[in-house]
Structure 1
Amino acid sequence: MTNKKYEPLLQPFTFSNGIKLDNRVVLAPMTNFSSNEDGTVSNAEVDYYVRRSKGVSMVITACTYGTPNGKGFHGEFAADSDEMIPSLSRLATAIKDQGAKAVLQIFHGGRMCPPELVPNGDIVSASAVAAEQEGAPVPRELTNEEIEGIIHDFGEMTRRAIEAGFDGVEIHGANNYLIQQFFSPHSNRREDKWGGSVEKRLTFPLAIVDEVKQAVSKHAKEPFLVGYRFSPEEPETPGITMADTLKLVDALAEKDLDYLHVSLMEFWSKPRRGVEDTRSRIEIIQERVGSRVPVMGVGSIHTADEAAAALETGIPLLAIGRELIMDPDWVQKVKEGRENEIVTTLSKKDQEKLVIPDPLWQAVINTPGWFPVED
C-alpha cells in the first residue's frame, strides 16, 4: 500500500498535447560515457536504461550531438546523421518497452567540448572567450553561417528522434553548453544580432526552439514533446543572473513548449544575485511561470520525503538522477509502501546488480563527492 503522504508523486500527469505520464517521477538526463566508438548506443547502455525505465513515467536520455564539433563527452552517442537512426531507435524502443516515455536530449557542447573529440580540435562558441577553468582552451567565434548551420542541425536531430520513435526531445540549454554560452554575457561578447543585450543573447536559444518546433510540425504524425532545460545562474562575472533567467523563462513561456526543466545540483538552492528574494530558485521560477508551462525540478533528491516536499513547491514534475543510479527500484518502493528500503548510498560491490556500464561506474567511484560510496 502506498503511504498517503507520497500519493502526489504517483498521480498521473497529462501534457497540453495529450501525452500522458503515469506519475510525476522522471529519470533525469545523465551522461554515462558508455556508447560505442562509432557513436552508436552500446549494449551496456541499453541495459542500463532498461533497468531504470521501470517505474518512472519518463526517461530523458543522456545528451546527444548533431554537429561534429558539438561532441562534449567521451562515449557520447551520436545523432548527427541518418545512419544513427537505427541506434537511436534501439534506445527509444528499449525505454518504451518498460512503460516509460522516451525523450532524447539534444545538445552542442560549444567551448566545453574536449578538443580531442572534435574535428581538428576546433572548439567553437559564441565568442573567443575561454571557460573559467584551468587549462580551458580559447574557442573560435562562430560565423553567422555556422550558427545557422547549428540551428538547422537541431531541427535534424529532432527529425531523427521522431523517426527513431522517441516521444519527445529536450533542448539542452543548461550546464554551460553552447545554447547557454549564447545566453551568457560571460561567453557571448558579440555585437551583432546574436549578442549584446539580454534580448539579443536570447536570439540563438529561441531560434533553436523555433527550428525544433518546426521540425515537429513537419515530421511528427502524433503528439511529440519539446522540453527546454536551463541553468538559472552562473557564478562568473559577468554571468547569467536570476533576473536574466526570468527574462528567459518569460520568452520560453511564449513558445508553446511542453515543459521547462530547471537544472540544479541542489533543489532548494537560493539565488546568488539578480533578485531580492529569500526563496529557492525553483520557487521563484515556478511563481514566474505560473500555469503557462509545466516546470520540472531536479537536484539531490534521494528520499520519498524529499521528493514529496519538492512537489509541494507547486512544480508538477520531478526529475531524479543520481538516486535512480543507486536505486533503480525507487518508484516501485514508494508505490508499495517500502520507502524505508530506498538505498541512498552506493556499495562498491553493486555494479553488476545495478547494471551500471563500466565507464560510468569508474567515473562514479573515482570522482570524490559525486556519489556517497561505501566499500
Structure 2
Amino acid sequence: MAHSLTPTADALAVDALHQPFTLPNGAVLPNRLAKAALSESLARRDHTPGTRIKTLYRRWSGNGAGLVVTGNVMVDRRAIGEPGNVVVEDDRAFDDLVEWADIIKSDGAVAWAQINHPGRQAPRTLTPRPVAPSPIALDGSAGMFAQPRELTHDEIEDIIRRFATTAGILVRAGFDGVQIHGAHGYLVSQFLSPLANQRTDHWGGTPEKRRRFVIEVARAIRAEIGPDATLAIKLNSADFQRGGFSEDESIEVVHALAAEGIDLLEISGGTYSSAAMLGVDPSLKESTRQREAYFLDYAQRVRAELPTLPLMLTGGFRTAEAMNDAVTSGAIDIVGLGRPLTVEPDVPGQLLDGTATGSAVRPRRSGIRVVDSLTELTAYTVQMWRMAEGKAPAPRRHPAFNVAAYLVRNGRDSVRVGRRGL
C-alpha cells in the first residue's frame, strides 16, 4: 500500500517528519523516516539475493519510509556473520542486485545497502577460523564463536579493498549509496575497541591508530563510488563495556569521518556482550526507555560539535510525537525504525498520514537477560521470514514458537544479539 509523502490535515502534528532532507552530496531523502538495517537472513544457499528477500522488500515498498537501508551485505564469503547473509564480492548476482534496488526504489524511496564484515563475531559453524584485529575471543560466547586469528597487515588491506569493491558493485546495480556497519561488535567496531584491538602496529595501540581502519575503508569506498553516491556509516555511541570504546573516543571518530566527507552518521550503541540497542540491557536506564530515543544525548553532543553533519538516530522510537520532537529540536535529521517494521510494515506511512500515532512494538522483558535477548532476536526475524513467504506478520505468536522456528532453520550457533535494528 503506497502512502502519500504530502502531509494531510491530520498529520500536521508531525509536520517535521514530512520534510525532505538534502544530504551533503546533493541526494534528497523524501522525508525524515527511514527503515533501518535489519539482518534478514534470507539469501539463497550461495549467498545471492533471491525471491524471498525481494518479496520482503516488495512488502515494504511504498510503506512511506523515505529511506530504506538493507541488512548486512557481507564483503567476503569466507567471513559470514549469520546464516542467510547476502555476500557481494563480484558481479555473479548483478541482475538480482539490480532487481532488489529497483524494488526498494519503486515508490520513491532512497535505497542504501549496508555493507559489513563480521570479524570475530561469526558462528563457528559458518566461519570456523574467524579473523580479528587481535586474537581475542568474544566474551560471553558460550563456545558459539571460534578463537579468532589476528589479521596480517596485507589481510587488512585486502578487506579494505573488499569493502570498496562491494560498494562499487552495489552502486552500479542501482543502490543510491552504501552504509558501513561500524557498530554492534562487528569488524569495524572491533578495530575501534581497545578491548578487541590490542595491536601495537599501524592499526592499533592509540585511538588514532585504532580508527585508521574505518578511515581507510571510508576513503576506499569514496574513491570507488565517486562523489555523487551516498556514503554513510552506522557507529556506536559507545559499546557499554568497562574499558571499551567510550563516548569520548566515539566523538573523535565522528570528527575524523566528517573530515573524510561522509554524508550521514547513523547513531546506535552496544555489542553482543552488552546489547543496549535492543532495549533489554540492564545498563539502559528506565528513563531512557521511556523517552524512547536510546542514544539521543549522544546525538545532541554530536550536533553541538558538528552542526552540519546529517544525523540519523535508531533505537527506541515508537511514538510520532517523540520522533517529530527529535527532528524539530534539531538534535537529529532522520528517525530510524527497525523492529516496528517487522510487525507493522506500513507504520511509516501511517505515522505520516495521521492514521497512527505510534508503534505498539515494545521490548519484551522478563528480567532474565539471556531470555530477553533471545526472544527479541528471534521474534522479529521470524516476522520478516513470514513476509518473505507472502504471509502477514503474527505479532501475538508465543515467543517459544519463534525461538523454535529460528533454531530449526538456523541452528543454535546463529542465536545471538548485536545485529538487529531497532
TM class by smaller structure: 0.7 to 0.9
- Given the alignment of the two structures, is residue 355 of structure 1 paired with residue 387 of structure 2, yes or no? yes
**15-24 or 232-241, larger mean C-alpha shift:** 232-241
Displacement after TM superposition at 1:47 (Å): 1.5
Deviates more, 1:330-339 or 1:200-209: 330-339
- Aligned-partner SS, 1:309: helix
1:200–1:353 CA distance, 2 compared to 1 (3 A):
closer
Q: 1:259 to 1:352 in 2, by over 3 A?
A: closer
Distance 1:125 1:309, change over 3 A: same
Give, in whole Å, the separation in 1 of the partners of 2:384 and 2:254.
Answer: 41
> Counterpart in 1 of 2:356?
339
Of 218, 235, 241, which aligns to 2:240?
235
Could you list the per-position Cα deviations for residues 241-281 of structure 1 after superposition, in whole angstroms to 9, with x for gaps in the alignment?
Answer: 111111111111101111011114279x68xxxxxxx9722
Kept in 1: contact 2:112–2:177 (CA 8 A): yes
Q: Which consecutive segments of 4 or more residues in structure 1 shift more than 6 A? A: 345-348, 360-364
Matches within 5 A, 1:1-375: 1-54=9-62, 55-118=64-127, 121-133=128-140, 134-135=142-143, 136-217=145-226, 223-264=228-269, 265=277, 280-291=297-308, 293-311=309-327, 312-340=329-357, 342-344=359-361, 355-356=387-388, 365-366=402-403
CA distance in 2, matches of 1:352, 1:247: 36
Cα 1:354–1:233, aligned 2, differ >3 Å: closer, same or farther? same
Aligned to 1:297, what secondary structure does the other structure show? Answer: strand
| CA distance in structure 2 between the aligned counterparts of 1:317 and 1:79, rounded to whole angstroms | 27
Supply the RMSD in Å over aligned alpha carbons.
3.0
Could you state the TM-score of these two structures normalised by the residue count of structure 2? 0.77
Change (3 A) 1:266 1:294: farther
Compute the displacement of 1:316 (Å). 0.8
CA drift of 1:186 comes to 0.6
Distance 2:79 2:262 in 1: 24
1:49 CA drift (Å): 1.2
Supply the distance in 2 between the matched residues of 1:115 and 1:86 (Cα, whole angstroms).
31
AA at the equivalent of 1:143: T
CA shift for structure 1 position 313: 5.0
Q: Between the two proteins, what is the percent identity of the paired residues?
A: 29
Q: Distance in 2 between matches of 1:256 and 1:144?
A: 25
Q: In structure 2, what is the Cα distance between the partners aligned to 1:33 and 1:201?
A: 30
Unaligned runs of 5+ in 2: 1-8, 270-276, 286-294, 365-378, 407-414, 418-422
Aligned to 1:373: none
> What is the CA–CA distance in structure 1 between the aligned matches of 2:125 and 2:355, rounded to whole Å?
46
The whole-number CA distance in structure 1 between the counterparts of 2:259 and 2:192 is 17
Q: Aligned with 1:102: secondary structure?
A: strand
Aligned length: 354
Normalising by structure 1, report the TM-score. 0.86
The alignment partner of 1:260 has SS state of strand
Cα deviation per residue 1:29-64 (whole Å; 9 max; x = unaligned)?
000111111111121211211222311111100011
**Structure 1 unpaired stretches of 5+:** 271-277, 371-375
**8 Å contact from structure 2 (residues 321, 357) kept in 1:** no
What secondary structure does 1:110 align onto? coil
Residue range with higher mean Cα deviation, 137-146 or 312-321: 312-321
Distance 1:171 1:279, change over 3 A: closer
Distance (Å, rounded) in 2 between the aligned partners of 1:364 and 1:315: 38
Distance 1:122 1:330, change over 3 A: same
